[in-house]
């Protein structure tokens, strides 16, 4: 994807204020795509040097996106084994328009809406934790066509009409995050239909608008300028784009092979031309000797063994 070409088009949209940020983010994406990392260590079983090359991974790289998709496939399997009703909830905030000006006193920027949604969801989730035993949920932030964010939340409980009305009231009246009519949308599914509904609801949003990860759910088109701005703002402020309740963390945790039996002592980053001469992390000789010494006594400190 040619991110800087997309960034050029930002100046022709209503989000032109983000043109410089879009170029900075686009440059970051294209530059980091050329970088590789190498970690050096010792294979303890063979007592031989070993090197392991890896991609420079951040939230917008393909390996990371594949890892995220894998987490949601694991969640799907969990729901099959633990059938329950689910409530799918969309949380929308005020944007740039006459309604925002009437309610908030001004038009909101993409950054304003990100902050508003982030703070309001935190407040709402705290209320739901108190009211619902074993509150279980997962959420995703996705851009509107306008580039403004909104939340998709799957709650693994059947929310009653009274609970839904209260959430709408909190969202519009107490948090002043969105309108009473359009700020919160609900869809409740029974255990018989929850797996398919949850999969379609979540997967298309976790894939939509992100770097291609080979999912059948994602579109074949490249980012729009608005989607680039959405991701640039998330990058600038470090906003998370998905999360889950603590009791789902283990369900969605990494399930792959864990590398053990190595001492890692150096990590280098290439300059984009295959030149691995830029160490970003290195143990001193004394630290390496201490690792070897303590391994034989069973007192190896954390970080000696690679994972």
DSSP characters over 17-77: GGHHHHHHHHHHHHHHTT-EEEEEEEETTTTEEEEEEEE---TTSHHHHHHHHHHHHHHHH
The answer to the question of residue 244 being in a domain is yes
Which pLDDT belongs to residue 211?
45
Which pLDDT belongs to residue 261?
80
The answer to the question of residue 285 being in a domain is yes
Which pLDDT belongs to residue 205?
64
Which pLDDT belongs to residue 272?
58
Which pLDDT belongs to residue 34?
81
Q: Is the pTM of this model over 0.85?
A: no
The answer to the question of residue 16 being in a domain is yes
What whole-number distance in Å separates Cα of residue 163 and Cα of residue 128? 10
- Both 134 and 243 in a single domain? yes
What is the arrangement of strands in the sheet containing 36-43, beginning at the earlier edge strand? 48-55, 36-43, 262-269, 278-282
- Both 234 and 266 in a single domain? no
What whole-number distance in Å separates Cα of residue 195 and Cα of residue 268? 43
- Both 22 and 69 in a single domain? no
Which pLDDT belongs to residue 213?
46
- Both 113 and 209 in a single domain? yes
Which pLDDT belongs to residue 91?
97
Nearest to 210 by CA among 186, 180, 241: 241
- Both 223 and 131 in a single domain? yes
- Both 221 and 91 in a single domain? yes
- Both 69 and 7 in a single domain? no
The answer to the question of residue 164 being in a domain is yes
Per-residue tokens: 118: 């982030």
Name 305's bridge partners: 263
Number of domains in the chain: 2
What whole-number distance in Å separates Cα of residue 57 and Cα of residue 212? 14
- Both 70 and 135 in a single domain? yes
Which pLDDT belongs to residue 5?
96
Which pLDDT belongs to residue 196?
78
Positions in the chain whose pLDDT score sits under 50 = 209, 211, 213, 217, 307
The answer to the question of residue 43 being in a domain is yes
- Both 216 and 239 in a single domain? yes
Please report, in angstroms and rounded to a whole number, the separation of the first and last CA atoms in the chain: 32
- Both 52 and 88 in a single domain? no
- Both 224 and 85 in a single domain? yes
The answer to the question of residue 306 being in a domain is no
Q: Using the 3D structure, point to which of 249, 266, 286 is the last residue of a domain.
A: 249
Structural domain boundaries enclosing 31: 3-56+257-297
Which pLDDT belongs to residue 258?
63
Which residues have C-beta within 8 Å of that of residue 158, sequence separation ≥ 6? 85, 86, 87, 188, 190
The answer to the question of residue 109 being in a domain is yes
The answer to the question of residue 304 being in a domain is no
- Both 21 and 138 in a single domain? no
CA–CA–CA angle 58, 70, 307 (5° rounding): 60
């Amino acid at each position: 994807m040619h991110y800087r070409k997309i960034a050029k088009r930002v100046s022709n949209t209503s989000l032109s204020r983000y043109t410089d940020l879009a170029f900075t983010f686009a440059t970051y994406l294209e530059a980091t795509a050329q970088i590789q990392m190498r970690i050096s260590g010792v294979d303890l079983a063979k007592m031989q040097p070993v090197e392991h090359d890896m991609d420079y991974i951040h939230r917008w790289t393909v390996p990371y996106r594949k890892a995220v998709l894998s987490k949601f496939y694991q969640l799907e399997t969990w729901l099959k084994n633990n059938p329950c009703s689910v409530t799918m909830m969309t949380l929308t905030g005020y944007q740039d328009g006459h309604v925002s000006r009437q309610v908030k006193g001004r038009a909101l920027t993409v950054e304003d809406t990100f902050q508003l949604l982030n703070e309001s969801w935190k407040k709402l989730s705290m209320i739901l934790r108190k009211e619902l035993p074993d509150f279980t949920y997962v959420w995703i932030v996705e851009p509107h066509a306008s580039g403004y964010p909104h939340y998709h939340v799957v709650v693994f409980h059947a929310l009653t009409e009274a609970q839904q009305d209260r959430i709408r009231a909190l969202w519009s009246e107490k948090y002043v995050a969105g309108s009473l009519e359009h700020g919160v949308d609900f869809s409740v599914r029974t255990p018989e239909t929850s797996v398919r509904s949850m999969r379609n609801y979540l997967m298309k949003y976790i894939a939509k608008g992100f770097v291609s990860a080979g999912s059948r759910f994602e579109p074949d088109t490249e980012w729009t300028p608005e989607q680039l701005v959405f991701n640039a703002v998330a990058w600038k402020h470090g906003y998370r784009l998905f999360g889950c309740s603590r009791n789902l963390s283990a369900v969605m945790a990494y399930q792959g092979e864990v590398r053990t039996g190595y001492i890692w002592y150096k990590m280098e980053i290439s300059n984009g031309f295959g030149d691995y001469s830029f160490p970003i992390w290195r143990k001193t000789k004394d630290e390496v000797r201490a690792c070897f010494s303590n391994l034989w006594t069973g007192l190896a400190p954390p970080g000696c063994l690679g994972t």
